[in-house]
């Protein structure tokens, strides 16, 4: 229990006016960064780095980290209201969140995203305090081989997300994996599928695809719909969150927070992959998996709890080992150096006050975010009252500006528009865009894992079952695929009429 006492002391130290202000600024910027499509937490922290360093010491890192987890709260807003993911970790929130909003339950979905973010955050912070050191050591056991096995397991789970038609699901999955291969080959070096365009050398930014595929396609579809002239009516009740949902989703919330925390610790996996796993497991083990994708409240709870929990998990390698596991934590590492601290395995030992104060600020920041976002829900949900004739042009402008601002490149805008067109065709042909983004995120991780492993083993495949962790994940993968098939067979056998 000692870490919890230290966390408590850290919370107390984090209540100085200076730290409170830095945390508040951080979470506010994070909310904005999360809401704006295109700019994600990595870019947000990078932009604010020079400003935050001016705060000095723990305040600088409290502010920067605030942007990171603040973005996890903010990302849900546009995902739910407009169907446009504000940043990569909120892509999975679009599926059910936007379906709910279209049904007139925007406030309820937003409310759940706030509760889920908060609960994911609290669980994440407590686990961060309790388990930083042992979990960090365990994360080191994840080399390329173990990563390959983890990704196989993840992909086996996501087969449940492929929609009703398996062939269409796999087609979209492979399309996503192919798009993930565009650019410089990460292992051997030459370019793949760039067709000579220099703009494609570095590959396609995930956010650009996600924004186009989900957001723009939706707007394109609406262009083809005839307006009825009838005004849509939403009750004001729909603007308010519903506390009863919290009780209904409690198991999903806790489970998603735990899963994504342990997955999020592994350097290189990231919070986006964690949300996918959380959503997939929530659906797989739900009593009515069919409600997922059609506006299930649990479909909002799972990814939102997951991305918050994972954002704290991602900080473990940074604080306990001095290793940046993601783009955002790499910026935080730069921040630590710039305020004069030496990140590394000794940070906990040499600067315990600093570390626990920063962790304390996470707790306070999480509280601030709940209050801020709860107050904002009715205002934000009011967007549904705006006529699409006014709303969509503004949204298209904002989205394209956001996409442009990632690299200041018109080529990204073009790619987003093409992705929008592809998304439009997919919607018309009843292909789910979900497997495509899964392939785009998990495909490159799997490919890199396999190729790195084979370099290490000089092409010897036995390395895959010599690692106990990898073997464990491969067996789980087989279980996930085979058990439902076996159960169907058994069920079919029992259903046979006795006369046969």
Partner 1 sequence: MRASKTLVLLLALTASACGGGNATEESGAYPLKDVTMIVPFGAGGGSDVLSRTIANVIRELKILPVSLLVENRPGSSGAIGYTYVAKQKGNPYTLATVSVSFFTTPLLGASEFNFRNFTPVAAIAMSPYIMAVREASPYKTFDDVKKVRRLTTGTVGVVSDPVLLARMLQNASGITIDTVPFDGEGEVMTAALGGHIDFMLGNPGEILPQIEAGTLRPLAVSTAGRLLSLPAVPSFKELGYPIEHVQLRGVVMPPDMPQEALTFWESALRRVAESPEWKREYLDRFRDEPRFLGSVEFGKVLESTNTLYTEIMSELGLIKR
Residue 183 DSSP code: E
Taking CB under 8 A as the criterion, the residue among 133, 409, 418, 427 binding partner 1 is 409
Among 11, 22, 46, 160, binds partner 1 (CB under 8 A): 46
Of 109-117, 300-308, 339-347, 383-391, which segment contacts partner 1 by CB under 8 A?
A: 339-347
Q: Which residues pair with 93 in a beta bridge?
A: none
Q: In the complex, what is the shortest distance from the CB of residue 74 to partner 1, in angstroms, rounded to a whole number?
A: 20
Listed residue (178, 169, 241, 251) closest to 209, CA to CA: 178
Q: How many CB atoms lie within 10 A of CB 143?
A: 16
β-sheet bridge partners, residue 191? 184
Touching partner 1, residues 179-238 (CB under 8 A): 184-190, 198-199, 201-202
Q: How far is CA 470 from the centre of its chain?
A: 24
Q: How far is the CB of 157 from partner 1 (least distance, A)?
A: 23
Task: With contacts defined by CB under 8 A, name the span among 75-83, 151-159, 404-412, 474-482 that binds partner 1.
Answer: 404-412
Which 8-state DSSP code applies to residue 182?
Answer: -
Q: Are 41 and 315 in contact (CB under 8 A)?
A: no
Least CB distance to partner 1 at residue 403 (A): 13
x/- binding map, residues 307-326, to partner 1, per CB under 8 A?
A: ----------x---xxxxxx
Report in angstroms how near the CB of residue 46 gets to partner 1 at its nearest.
4
Q: Hunting for tokens 């306990």 — which residue is that?
A: 320
Distance CA 153, CA 479 (A): 10
* Closer CB to partner 1, 410 or 482, in the complex: 410
Comparison of 15 and 350: residue with beta carbon closer to partner 1: 350
User: Which one of residues 386, 394, 410, 455 is an interface residue with partner 1 (CB under 8 A)?
Assistant: 455
Angle formed by the axes of helices 352-381 and 2-13, nearest 10°? 70
Closest distance to partner 1 from the beta carbon of 459 (Å): 11
Largest CA distance in the chain: 82
SS (H, E, C) 311-332: HHHCHHHHHHHCCCCCHHHHHH
Number of Cβ atoms within 10 Å of the Cβ of 388: 15
Of the listed pieces 103-111, 241-249, 342-350, 482-490, which binds partner 1 according to CB under 8 A? 342-350
Residue ranges in contact with partner 1 by CB under 8 A: 43, 45-47, 49-50, 139-145, 184-190, 198-199, 201-202, 267-268, 317, 321-327, 329-331, 334-335, 337-338, 340, 342-346, 407-409, 448, 452, 455-456, 458
């Amino acid at each position: 229990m000692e870490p919890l006492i230290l966390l408590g002391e850290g919370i107390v130290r984090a209540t100085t006016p200076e730290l409170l202000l830095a945390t508040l600024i951080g979470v506010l910027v994070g909310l904005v960064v999360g809401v704006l499509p295109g700019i994600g937490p990595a870019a947000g922290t990078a932009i604010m780095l020079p400003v935050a360093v001016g705060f000095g010491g723990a305040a600088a890192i409290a502010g920067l980290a605030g942007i990171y987890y603040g973005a996890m709260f903010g990302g849900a807003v546009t995902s739910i209201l407009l169907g446009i993911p504000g940043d990569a970790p909120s892509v999975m929130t679009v599926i059910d969140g936007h379906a709910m909003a279209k049904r007139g339950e925007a406030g309820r979905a937003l409310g759940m995203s706030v509760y889920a973010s908060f609960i994911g955050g609290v669980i994440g912070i407590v686990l961060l305090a309790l388990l930083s050191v042992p979990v960090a050591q365990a994360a080191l056991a994840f080399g390329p081989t173990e990563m390959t096995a983890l990704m196989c397991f993840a992909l086996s789970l996501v087969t449940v997300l492929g929609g009703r038609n398996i062939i269409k699901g796999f087609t979209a999955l492979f399309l996503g994996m192919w798009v993930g291969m565009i650019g410089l080959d990460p292992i051997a070096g030459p370019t793949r599928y760039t067709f000579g365009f220099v703009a494609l050398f570095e590959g396609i930014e995930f956010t650009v695809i996600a924004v186009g595929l989900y957001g723009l396609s939706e707007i394109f579809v609406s262009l083809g719909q005839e307006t009825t002239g009838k005004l849509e009516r939403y009750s004001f009740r729909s603007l308010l969150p519903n506390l009863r949902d919290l009780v209904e989703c409690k198991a999903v919330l806790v489970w998603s927070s735990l899963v994504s925390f342990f997955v999020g610790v592994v350097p290189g996996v990231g919070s986006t992959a964690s949300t996918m796993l959380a959503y997939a497991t929530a659906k797989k083990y739900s009593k009515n998996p069919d409600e997922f994708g059609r506006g299930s409240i649990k479909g909002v709870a799972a990814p939102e709890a997951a991305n918050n929990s994972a954002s704290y998990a991602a900080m473990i390698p940074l604080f306990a080992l001095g290793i940046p596991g993601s783009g955002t934590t790499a910026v935080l590492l730069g921040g630590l150096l710039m305020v004069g601290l030496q990140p590394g395995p000794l940070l906990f030992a040499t600067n315990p006050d600093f570390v626990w104060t920063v962790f304390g600020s996470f707790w306070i920041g999480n509280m601030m975010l709940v209050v801020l976002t709860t107050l904002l829900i009715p205002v934000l949900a009011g967007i549904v009252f705006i006529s699409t004739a006014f709303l969509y042009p503004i949204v298209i402008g904002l989205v394209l500006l956001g996409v442009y601002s990632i690299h200041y490149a018109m080529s990204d805008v073009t790619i987003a528009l093409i992705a929008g067109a592809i998304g439009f065709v997919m919607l018309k042909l009843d292909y789910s865009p979900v497997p495509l983004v899964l392939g785009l995120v998990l495909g490159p991780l799997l490919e890199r894992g396999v190729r790195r492993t084979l370099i290490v083993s000089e092409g010897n495949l036995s390395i895959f079952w010599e690692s106990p962790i990898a073997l464990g994940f491969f067996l789980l993968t087989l279980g996930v695929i085979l058990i439902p098939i076996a159960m169907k067979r058994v069920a079919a056998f029992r259903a046979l009429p006795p006369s046969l």
